[in-house]
Structure 1
Amino acid sequence: MVTPIRRALATCVPLLWFVRVADGMPDPAQRDLLTRQETSRQTGGRVTLTAAELKLDVQLRRLKEREMSAAPFPPAVHFFNAKPLIQESPVFKLLQEMPKGAALHVHASSLVGVDWLVKNVTYRPHCYVCFTWDNSVRFVFSDRRPFPRWDCVYWQLLEALRARLGDPTGFDDGLMQHLTLFTEDPDGEYPSQEVVWEKFERAFVAAAGLITHAPVLRDYFYKGLEELLHDNILYLELRSGLSKTYELDGAVHDKVWTLKTFREVTRTFRADHPDFLGARVIVSVHRALSVSEVKAAVKEAIQLQKDFPDVVAGFDMVGREDGGRALWYFREALSLPADLGVTLPYFFHAGETDDEGTDVDQNILDALLFNTTRIGHGFALAHHPLAKELSRKRNVAVELCPISNQVLRLVSDLRNHPAAVLMSEGHPMVISSDDPSLFGTTGLSYDFYEAFVGIGGLRANLGTLKELALNSIRYSSLPAHLKDAGLVMWQKKWDAFIFNNS
């Protein structure tokens, strides 16, 4: 009987033999063979391209070579400074046209650009603003002036405030600064991970009062799907805490109402745009909660998935991993579905850290122990050979969010991103955007650019892009028949993209 270990060793013998016999000048034919074998292992390395695709691939390589020889090289520069350079890139413009499949790692509070929040939502009637003691803002819609509270002593009606200002352009720009991380001096303003994460979390809180107003939430969901479709994305999996929503008179809706609204908006959007496949929710809770609170949240997620099987994809824990509680801390709560004999798919954030050897660093292995369906970020995965092997064998994809990792200061030059190792090995992977509104992006094109040009380097080709796009549908939570429908829909868009650009 040939064991898997013997089979693996047998495949290595020819390669080892090449190395042993190359005492003098190496055989060029052997070198070419080794190069082809290594290339075949990378993401997209086994994708067979058509004649038209090969023609476009040659064009892409030429464009990429030109960008990699230029200075400054955008992936080596902080995204906030590189964004104007990327927008001028011919590679980026091609990526905007390319059908990218699905966005599988996006947080609900940052789905829509801050321009729309400020220039549309804050201009609606009955919108109040309050400036807090910690240099942040709070918004609320109310049919009367809100009562003072601990963080907001004085509420002002935005309509009246803008009328007094005359030209509110500068004021609106200031509001946007509270809802995004963007700055012209990112290194100076965010000297550490702690500083950028503090601003990051304040921006979420600031946006909450706008997004959770019931009439806004409907429009917000629809607008978010519009922005995705505009970037040639056909499906979304949205991480959401399903925060309670409120009406003008203060009446509050529960999570069931939010899920029903999400389902209704998605159905309406699909009716308006038949080339969009749909959207689902990954119910999320913050890792700052207690074990008992997470246990209650897991029970609730089980029920919500039972009641909304077409909408609820599974469960995740969000919030900064460094300084937060590790997954193992919540083992009693996370074991609950198995104890009850039910299935609740997990989509854990894990390995969004550069602190090797800590309890948080162990989240990668613990996520796999709890049978996570995908790994959110997985920045630390390359440093865990066993976890990497397990995730590959189980076909657990990494949700790579390169711009997020750079902005939140895990890596400065994206050529040095650990995912370069994963891509060279063809590890299961999808590209996503994490918190696009906070980073000043929409859709996936910017993140695809950083992954394709920066992380993938010259080896990444059209086959890489094709596999990454297909992966986003293959590794989605969709049932098999909808995955098949999505692949057909994507292929039609892909063929048109190739025809228009080759």
Structure 2
Amino acid sequence: MEATSTTAVGLENQNEAPDHSHPAVQQFLQSREALILQEKERRSDYAFRQSLSPTAIHACKIVSALRFEEQRTVWAHENEMFPGMMFNIAKPQMESTKLWRIVEKMPKGTLLHCHLGAMVDLEWVFNEAFSTPGMCISAKAPLVTKESRQSVSVQFKQCSTAICEGPLIWSSQYIAGTWVPVALAANTFPDTGKRGFVDWMKELCSITQAESLQHHLGLDDVWRKIQGGFGILGPIIYYEPIMRAFLWKFFETLVEDRVKWVEIRAVFATPFTRQGADSPTEDLTAVLGVINEVVENFKAANDFWGAVSFGLR
């Protein structure tokens, strides 16, 4: 677009800044608007937008106005909030906005590239473990102190030979590697009982607020934490009764978020244990059969299109 001569629109004194009504400013604004319209016509969604109903057009205007208003108020710098800030810090504020509530209720269609192990509601899964017969915990050393509970490796598994009497993992007399019912271990968690146990597990299995800001430790440090969490959660969610309940719960949350179809990524290197068995099955396709059964049953009971599973090994 050719530049417009200021003299052509009557800007004789170039030492004075023109106001908004000056012909030079008006011509610039008109040229700018025309350029924006040309750009919009080349967008991939232009034809779709042209076909919107009056109601949809009105809805778009409402959402745009709301977005602008919340940029000016919710994400104002004086509130120490701004668009593009750290997600973990912004999340509580984001979920309190009107724009979030609108997006939450909008149809989503599909969820792609969904890593199954990362979809776990930690509060739910550990409470499910407490109520699942045979689910046990062991540690490589007694977990007597808070420091030991942060550094000593723990494991979960289905075990029919768990020790229900004798030293628990919180005792200095605990024998490393002994399997203890997880419900018993949780109820006897030092000082705070089951609530404290769940909080401890959530801290071990997720990136905490403080850890999310420790960028100086590098990517490998974060990845080690994530891998450690997967190591704890894997034997729990890959135990058949919990896997079935977990998948159903997961699909329910998708439907609540207006998601109709999901592409699941699962790590089949994680051993899958059949209900009541103490050892994982050697059939690597067994977990696929369970996933398929739950998907079909859920589809029959809900407005849900389905899921496809991709295995990583």
TM-score bin (small chain): 0.7 to 0.9
SS at match of 1:246: coil
Partner of 1:255: 284
Measure the CA separation in 2 of the matches of 1:211 and 1:179: 13
C-alpha separation between the residues in 2 aligned to 1:162 and 1:241?
28
Tell me, yes or no, if structure 1 residue 246 matches structure 2 residue 273. yes
Aligned twin of 1:96: 104
Q: Any idea what SS the aligned residue of 2:48 has?
A: coil
Structure 2, unmatched stretches of 5+, are 7-26, 142-150, 164-175
The equivalent residue for 2:248 is 222
CA distance in 2, matches of 1:214, 1:234: 24
Residue 13 of structure 2 corresponds to which residue in structure 1? none
Secondary structure at the counterpart of residue 234 of structure 1: strand
2:159 aligned with 1:142: yes
Partner of 1:161 in structure 2?
185
- Deviating above 6 A after TM superposition, structure 1's stretches of 4 or more consecutive aligned residues are none
> Which amino acid counterpart does residue 153 of structure 1 have in structure 2?
G
Which of 84, 87, 96 is the matching residue for 2:92?
A: 84
Provide the rounded CA distance (Å) in 1 between the counterparts of 2:239 and 2:279: 10
Is 1:24 equivalent to 2:30 in the alignment?
no
Q: Tell me whether 1:36 sits opposite 2:32 in the alignment.
A: no
Contact 1:74 1:86 in 2 (8 A): no
- 1:168 is paired with a residue whose SS is helix
- Asked if the contact 1:112–1:227 (Cα under 8 Å) also holds between the matched residues in 2, the reply is no
Q: CA RMSD in A?
A: 2.5
Higher gyration radius (CA): 2
- Name the CA shift for 1:184/1:209 in 2 (closer, same or farther; >3 Å): same
Structure 2 distance, partners of 1:163, 1:197, is 31
Equivalent residues, number: 260
Using a 3 Å threshold, how does the CA distance of structure 1 residues 102 and 50 change in structure 2: closer, same or farther?
same
Deviation track 1:263-294 (CA, whole Å, cap 9, x = no partner) reads: 11111000110x21110012223xxxxxxxxx
The amino acid across from 1:24 in the alignment is S
**Is 2:136–2:181's contact at 8 Å kept on the other side of the alignment?**
yes
Q: Which runs of 5+ in 1 are unaligned?
A: 1-17, 147-151, 286-502
Bigger relative contact order (CA 8 A; separation at least 6): 1
Q: Secondary structure, in 3 states, of the residue corresponding to 2:209?
A: coil
What code does the residue aligned with 1:163 have?
N
Q: How does 1:301-316 map to 2 (within 5 A)?
A: none
CA contact (8 A) 1:101 1:232 kept: yes
Residues 224 and 43 of structure 1, relative CA distance in 2, 3 Å threshold: farther
**Following TM superposition, by how much is the alpha carbon of 1:104 offset from its aligned partner in structure 2, in angstroms?**
0.7
AA in 2 matched with 1:224: F
Secondary structure of the residue aligned to 2:111 is strand
User: 1:276 maps to which residue?
Assistant: 304
Superposition TM-score, scaled by structure 1 size: 0.48
The CA deviation string for residues 317-370 of structure 1, in whole angstroms up to 9 with x for no partner, is xxxxxxxxxxxxxxxxxxxxxxxxxxxxxxxxxxxxxxxxxxxxxxxxxxxxxx
Report whether the alignment pairs 1:67 with 2:70.
yes
Partner of 1:182: 208
Q: Distance in 2 between matches of 1:155 and 1:251?
A: 14
1:177 & 1:201 partners in 2: Cα distance? Answer: 13
Report the counterpart of residue 318 of structure 1 in structure 2.
Answer: none
Alignment identity in percent? 21
